Structure 1
Amino acid sequence: MNMEAGIGSDPAGYSSFEDEGRGRRRIAIIAVAVALLVVAGAIALMRYHAKPAPATGDTAPRVTVTVPGRQNVTAQIPAVGNITAIYDMPVGIPGEGGLVTRVLVQPGDWVGKGQVLATVDRSVQVQQAANLSASIAQARANAELARTQLERAKKLVNNGFISKADIDTRQAAYDSANAQVLMAQAQLKQQQALIGRLDIRAPTGGRVLTRSVEAGQIVGSGMGALFRIAADGAMELQARLSEADLARLHVGAPATVTPVGTTLKVPGQIWQISPIIDPNTRQGVVRIKLPVNDALRPGGFAAAEIGGGQGDVPLLPESAVMTDAQGNYVYIVGPDNHVQRRAVKVGEVDDRGVTVVSGLAGTERVVAAAGAFLNSGDKVQPQRTTTVR
């Protein structure tokens, strides 16, 4: 009872609570109003800055163009291949063969033309040659006897003791005896040649690559190569290249060859380019002649950088050259600032850019970038950039 009487009997306290609530509402309303004013000012400011610039009358896109000119470029074509002897000469038994008595060389040895590599037993052939030599001596004796009888008969014919027919008979005997001498001599030379063929000789000077015969082995004319010789020791790299790369090369072009597993840089030179292209791989073979070097082993693998020659050609940034199903192309900006597509053939690509083998003279204004967003006939605003160097 007293509490209810106390609250209800204090009108001044109730009024103070009501005044405090009204003050808070007034402050909130003022804060919301200030916030709305700030937002409205920000929107107005944004609209002011976003106001479009006055129209210039040209809505064509701006593109960067370059005039490439012509620059001296040395093309380098990478290649890999196998090292082999330029002339790999197989050496077999030239004669009838027999028992190998000696082998005189080892793989890696250098030999001269005609040098004996191995010998074959010739005891039987030597005896046959001795027999033929005796036959020659006998034939010569018979010829000498026939000559003496002929001369004696010629002296007697004048005295009438021997007829003319007897002279003719003795002359024929003498001629036959001389023929027998010549025949025996020819047979001896033939046998000596056969004996000589029992020496397995180097057909050319060079380096022995392989040896597949040992002393005591029986060899014959039907066997394969007993030795292989690199003629003059000359080596080459046989590399397979694409048809396009072969078209850029020429005989005499320089190359640098690095055998696998080494840091050696061996200078070489193209001496032959394949006259045919494999229809399956669309590749051909280029043969690079190399100097004599112990690090170059036939059958080894090597990488090469081949010089495709020098030439004055346009050089473009890579972004300027595009490719589609029809091939490589660029966009040229004409005098009226309209772009036209131009087909090009590209060559070497390096850090400087892309060389253009054909399709450009070098004086054209070429779109250097953003060409993929253009179409033939589009009008552009060209902006010149520096030439690629």
Structure 2
Amino acid sequence: MKAMNVEQGFWRKRVDAIEPAGDDHDVRASRRKLWLIVAAIAAVGAIIAYVMLSGGEKPAPQAPVLPRVTIVVPGRQPVTDLISATGNLAARREMPVGVAGEGGIVTRVLVEPGDWVGKGQVLATVDRQVQVQQSAQMHAQIAAAQADARLAQNELERAQKLVSRGFVSQADVERRTATRDAALARVRLSQAQYGEMNARLARLDIRSPEAGLVLARAIEPGQIVSSGGDPLFRLAKNGEMEMLARLAENDLARLAVGQSATVTPVGTRTGFKGQIWQLAPIIDPQTRQGTVRIALAYDKALRPGGFAAAEITSGRVDAPLLPESAVQSDEKGNFVYIIGAEDKVVRRDVKTGAVSNAGIAILSGLSGNERVVLSAGAFLNPGDKVIPERAKARP
């Protein structure tokens, strides 16, 4: 600013020195031109002075700030290898019960779903009025046949006494013996027919083939039933239940009969202990899954047809254990970020195992010595350079 004032004072003196005498109008015009020149020179001088004072150089660009990430080296430790599965509950041995005889009109139904029944217990009865009359008729036929047999026996005995005296021929004795044998055969035939009718009468009682739990009832009094129709009752033998768990074929290969499992039905947090009693001998070619049948003891919370989740213990393995925040997933599967050479982010695909309060077991993909990003992996990309910081040990 001081340099600018000096220049203005200098030029003001120059103007006064060269200002010609004459017409005032011409003088004023000359002054305006001269002042415009002075203002332009002052502006240029101010710009030059600013550039000189600022140094004339652009500021140097700042280096980028690298993000800091928390890492953990998981190592390896013994973990229980659990396989998770879902499926339906069912009776282990479901017994459909129908009409064994000729059927008829149902007169009584004696049980309800949820009742326990014993072997041979009557579940329902069918009208038997006609069969009772037929049974009485056959009983009378037995009495008539027995009377004929007694008469034939008496006549045979008399003929045998008279044959020695010559009053009856031997041929007559033989004829009377045949008559007696035919009468006895008619007695046995009548008795067999009577026994058959009694068996038919007994089959009009619909009975439980084994002890168990009544699951369903599809019969009411007054209903007409016949053999070969739909089951009238469904029973669970001894109340035993099971879960039909669906598993991928690679998980199925890791299991064996007798391994333990915990089954949790939908709607409850209670887990029920069971064990595998059968592995599917075939794999569904469409879903690439097989069925594992887990035997369960009866409990009212285990309802056949319900949905449940299972955790099957397939043994113990040494594997890295990571918190859930370290494991991510996308359309390609599960993965983690590790810090590689030059502190750059590297994606590593992994196969996860059992999930527990301690973390997620990594069955493959990690040796346990890698520096794994503990959290904030969603904000990183492969190839990013970071500043790794080891996680603090838990107290």
2:210 paired residue among 204, 207, 210:
204
What's the offset of the Cα at 1:77?
2.0
1:298 paired residue among 304, 312, 336:
304
Aligned pairs, number: 325
Any idea what the Cα deviations from partners look like across 1:257-316, whole Å, max 9, x if unmatched?
2222222222222222211111011111122222211122222222x2322321344447
Of the structure 1 ranges 124-133 and 244-253, higher mean CA displacement relative to structure 2 is found in 244-253
What's the offset of the Cα at 1:83?
1.6
What's the offset of the Cα at 1:65?
12
Q: CA 1:176–1:115 in structure 2 vs 1: closer, same or farther (change >3 Å)?
A: same
Q: CA 1:142–1:28 in structure 2 vs 1: closer, same or farther (change >3 Å)?
A: closer
Q: What letter corresponds to residue 119 of structure 1 in structure 2?
A: T
Q: What letter corresponds to residue 306 of structure 1 in structure 2?
A: E
Partners in 1 of 2:123 and 2:177 — Cα distance? Answer: 50
Aligned-residue CA RMSD in angstroms?
4.5
1:95 aligns with 2:101: yes
1:215 paired residue among 214, 218, 221:
221
Structure 2 counterpart of 1:307: 312
Q: What letter corresponds to residue 122 of structure 1 in structure 2?
A: R
What's the offset of the Cα at 1:169?
1.5
Structure 1 counterpart of 2:143: 137
Q: What letter corresponds to residue 89 of structure 2 in structure 1?
A: I
1:80 aligns with 2:86: yes
What's the offset of the Cα at 1:136?
0.9
What's the offset of the Cα at 1:158?
2.3
Partners in 2 of 1:286 and 1:242 — Cα distance? Answer: 10
* TM-score, L = length of structure 1: 0.68
SS in 1 for 2:314: strand
The answer to whether the 8 Å contact 1:91/1:227 transfers is yes
1:164 aligns with 2:197: no
Task: Summarize the alignment of residues 275-286 of structure 1 with structure 2, pairs less than 5 Å apart.
Answer: 275-286=281-292
What's the offset of the Cα at 1:164?
2.2
2:278 paired residue among 272, 279, 304:
272
2:263 paired residue among 229, 245, 257:
257
1:243 aligns with 2:249: yes
Structure 1 counterpart of 2:64: none
The answer to whether the 8 Å contact 1:72/1:310 transfers is no
What's the offset of the Cα at 1:181?
1.0
What's the offset of the Cα at 1:183?
0.7
Q: CA 1:118–1:67 in structure 2 vs 1: closer, same or farther (change >3 Å)?
A: closer
The answer to whether the 8 Å contact 2:352/2:360 transfers is no
Partners in 1 of 2:223 and 2:178 — Cα distance? Answer: 51
Q: Which runs of 5 or more structure 1 residues have no equivalent in the other structure?
A: 1-6, 15-24, 47-63, 329-343, 374-384
2:157 paired residue among 140, 151, 161:
151
1:126 aligns with 2:132: yes
Partners in 2 of 1:277 and 1:83 — Cα distance? Answer: 20
The answer to whether the 8 Å contact 2:215/2:235 transfers is yes
SS in 1 for 2:178: helix
* TM-score, L = length of structure 2: 0.67
Q: CA 1:249–1:308 in structure 2 vs 1: closer, same or farther (change >3 Å)?
A: farther
Of the structure 1 ranges 311-320 and 292-301, higher mean CA displacement relative to structure 2 is found in 311-320
Q: CA 1:105–1:349 in structure 2 vs 1: closer, same or farther (change >3 Å)?
A: closer
What's the offset of the Cα at 1:163?
2.4
Any idea what the Cα deviations from partners look like across 1:153-175, whole Å, max 9, x if unmatched?
22222223222222221221121
SS in 1 for 2:149: helix
Task: Summarize the alignment of residues 46-125 of structure 1 with structure 2, pairs less than 5 Å apart.
Answer: 71-125=77-131
1:194 aligns with 2:200: yes
Partners in 1 of 2:216 and 2:72 — Cα distance? Answer: 62
Q: What letter corresponds to residue 262 of structure 1 in structure 2?
A: T
Structure 2 counterpart of 1:49: none
The answer to whether the 8 Å contact 2:81/2:317 transfers is no
Task: Summarize the alignment of residues 369-384 of structure 1 with structure 2, pairs less than 5 Å apart.
Answer: none
Any idea what the Cα deviations from partners look like across 1:224-267, whole Å, max 9, x if unmatched?
11111121112222222211221222222222222222222222
What's the offset of the Cα at 1:367?
8.9
Q: CA 1:65–1:236 in structure 2 vs 1: closer, same or farther (change >3 Å)?
A: closer
Q: CA 1:67–1:223 in structure 2 vs 1: closer, same or farther (change >3 Å)?
A: closer
Q: What fraction of aligned residue pairs are identical, expressed as a percent?
A: 49
SS in 2 for 1:288: strand
Partners in 2 of 1:316 and 1:118 — Cα distance? Answer: 59
Q: Which runs of 5 or more structure 2 residues have no equivalent in the other structure?
A: 1-8, 17-43, 62-70, 336-348, 374-381, 384-389, 391-395
